[in-house]
Amino acid sequence: MIKEPESKRVFITDPALATAGSILKTLEHMKKYGFKDENVVIMAMFGCQSGIERIFKEHPEVKLFLVHMADGIREDGYLLPYNGDTGDRLYGVRENEYVI
């Protein structure tokens, strides 16, 4: 494990910060090992207000950089407008998936 995790700067990247579930789980895991929120920088390409609010509600000291604020979030947890799942974009979009 990393020595003196409480003093280390940590960068977390996420292509699409929708529900913030992945980021929150990552932060929870890191806290167990002694990392401090004030040393965490989150960088995302896309995000929505509700996901950002969830992060700052539980971890107000993290820093967050976002390239584009989405209009909202669909019922299934994808951002609006939907630009495609990162994995699908890298490895091929599913046949019946609508992507703008």
pLDDT in tens, 15-74: 889 999 999 999 999 999 999 999 999 999 999 999 999 999 999 999 999 999 998 888
C-alpha 51, offset from chain centre: 8
Residue 5 phi, psi (nearest 5)? -60, -25
Question: pLDDT band for position 99 (50/70/90)?
Answer: low
Classify the phi-psi angles of 24: left when phi > 0, otherwise alpha if psi is within -120 to 50, otherwise beta.
Answer: alpha
> Can you give the residue ranges of every domain in the chain?
5-91
pTM score of the predicted model: 0.79
At residue 78, the pLDDT reads: 82
The secondary structure of residue 87, as a DSSP letter, is: H
Q: What is the CATH number of domain 5-91?
A: 3.40.50.2020
At residue 81, the pLDDT reads: 74
